[in-house]
Amino acid sequence: MQTEHQQQSRPSSPARVLVVDDELTNLRLMGDLLNPHYEVLIARSVAEAREVLRTQLPDILLLDVMMPEVDGFSFCHELKGNDETRDLPIIFVTALHEEIDELKGFRLGAVDFIHKPISSPILLARVRTHLELKRRTDMLEQRALIDALTGIGNRRAYDLSLAAEWGRLQRKGSCLSMLVVDIDQFKLYNDFFGHRQGDECLQALAAALSKVISRASDQLMRYGGEEFVFVLPNTPLAGAVAVAEKLMVEVRALNMPQSPDADHDRVTVSVGVACLEPNNDQPPESLFLLADKQLYEAKGSGRNRICF
Ligand code: GH3
Ligand code: MG
Ligand code: MG
Ligand code: MG
């Protein structure tokens, strides 16, 4: 799942550095130093920094401590308590020299602490190091959400996506739909063609199901084995059934033989559809249980069909 900020991430463009300091000379110095390498945003106060963060998420923050009104420590605490900014690496750049201040900075969640007056090459080197660490962490986090076989979201992505949408739509009072898709007689398919070809079938199916996604908020994930799940925010039951019908068309178009000697048996899927208005009384899994119950109906009534 992605936040609006993450969706704006720019893999090929230079990293974005926000520098917050109440003294213009400091801002100029750091700005001149960083500008040739990075996109630099500046703010002269915490209020200005908050304004910048409303629309742009930087890759790293260089933060002064002593500033009028709100100081850097308080701002760091604020950012660490906010889901959108929690993972933003913060480097304190400050004239404070006491061990206790440095310790406080790290305890608040900063990744580094640089003393003023700054050494230009050291500041640059530390910024570069922390940006690289952040880039790698982000990459690993993204990878941890992808199913290695099919390239779509995995079970972990599903758990996160469902929990996030459940909370979000509860606040909005809107509905959430789910499709659970299960390949019919897939054990037999593996028995006929072997596991390797079974894996290829899963890949082809995931690609076909992906074609059905038209809204940025809709998500397709591999729930496990030969089961896939669609999470469709702000979608009533009728809309979810329409998505299920489209996916049946895509699966049919794959036209994959179900067994080596069958002339007309093709790989099919069964689909369970459910819709709920997320609420506090039920856990998010209740939506899955409803959709899974419908899937069970679809299997029991002959497979290759949608139940809702
Ligand atoms: P049904 O129509 O009732 O769903 O029958 P089924 O055979 O599809 O269901 P069952 O749950 O009995 O078997 C699922 C099979 O899916 C078991 C396993 O052989 C296969 N399978 C699950 N994950 C993978 C995978 O990653 N690769 C391959 N090749 N096969 C898998
Ligand atoms: Mg200051
Ligand atoms: Mg299954
Ligand atoms: Mg199955």
Which pLDDT tens digit goes with each residue over 10-59?
Answer: 557 899 999 999 999 999 999 999 999 999 999 999 999 999 999 999 99
CB distance 292 to ligand 1 below 6 Å = no
Question: Rounded to whole angstroms, how far apart are CA atoms 50 and 58?
Answer: 12
Whole-angstrom distance, CA of residue 52 vs CA of residue 194: 56
| Substitution site in 152, 187, 196, 222 for ligand 1 pocket (most atoms within 8 Å of beta carbon) | 187
The response to whether residue 186 sits with its C-beta less than 6 Å from ligand 1 reads yes
Q: Is the pLDDT of residue 65 over 70?
A: yes
Residue-wise pLDDT for 127-155, tens only, equals 999 999 999 999 999 999 999 999 999 99
pLDDT at 113 > cutoff 70: yes
pLDDT at 61: 98
> Which protein residue has the closest C-alpha to ligand 1 atom 21?
225
Lowest mean pLDDT among 34-48, 81-95, 163-177, 254-268: 254-268
Q: What ipTM score was computed for the predicted complex, to two decimals? A: 0.95
- What's the gap in Å between 241 CA and the centre of ligand 3? 20
pLDDT at position 173 is: 84
- Does residue 183 have its Cβ closer than 6 Å to ligand 1? yes
State residue 10's pLDDT score. 52
Instruction: Name the pTM for this structure.
Output: 0.80
In this predicted model, what pLDDT tens digit does every residue of 221-276 receive, in sequence order? 999 999 999 999 999 999 999 999 999 999 999 999 998 876 779 999 999 999 99
Q: Is residue 225 in contact with ligand 1, taking CB distance under 6 Å?
A: yes
pLDDT of residue 177: 97
Active site residue ranges: 226
Grade residue 308 by pLDDT with cuts at 50, 70 and 90.
very high
Angle between helix 99-107 and helix 72-80 axes, rounded to 10 deg: 20
Nearest atom in ligand 1 to the alpha carbon of residue 149 is: 26
Across the range 195-200, mean pLDDT stands at 97
Using the predicted structure, report yes or no on whether residue 3 has a pLDDT greater than 50: no
**Mean of the per-residue pLDDT values of the chain:** 94
Q: How far apart are CA 162 and CA 288, in angstroms?
A: 9
276 CA → ligand 1 middle, Å: 28
Query: Prior bond to 236 cis, omega within 30?
Result: no
From atom 24 of ligand 1, which residue's Cα is the shortest distance away? Answer: 225
- Taking the CA of 206 as reference, the closest ligand is 1
**Ligand 1 atom nearest residue 187's Cα:** 7
How far apart CA 63 and CA 57 sit, in angstroms, is 15
The answer, yes or no, to whether residue 295 has pLDDT greater than 80, is yes
CA 227/CA 307 separation, integer angstroms: 16
Calculate how far, in angstroms, residue 268's C-alpha sits from the geometric centre of ligand 4. Answer: 10
Determine if ligand 1 sits within 6 Å of the CB of residue 190: yes
Question: Does the pLDDT of residue 73 top 70, yes or no?
Answer: yes
Burial of 100 (0-12, 13-18, 19+ CB in 10 A): exposed
SS3 assignment, position 304: coil
CA 92 to each of CA 18, 22, 239: distance values in angstroms, whole numbers, following the listed order: 12, 13, 50
- Calculate mean pLDDT across residues 215-220: 94
Among all ligands shown, which has an atom nearest to the Cα of 304?
1
Ligand 3 centroid to 39 CA: how many Å? 49
| pLDDT over threshold 50, residue 79 | yes
With a 6 A CB cut-off, is 185 part of the ligand 1 pocket?
yes
3-class state of residue 19 by DSSP: strand
Ligand 4 midpoint to CA 53 (Å): 47
Atom 22, ligand 1: residue with shortest CA distance: 225
> Does the pLDDT value for residue 2 go beyond 60?
no
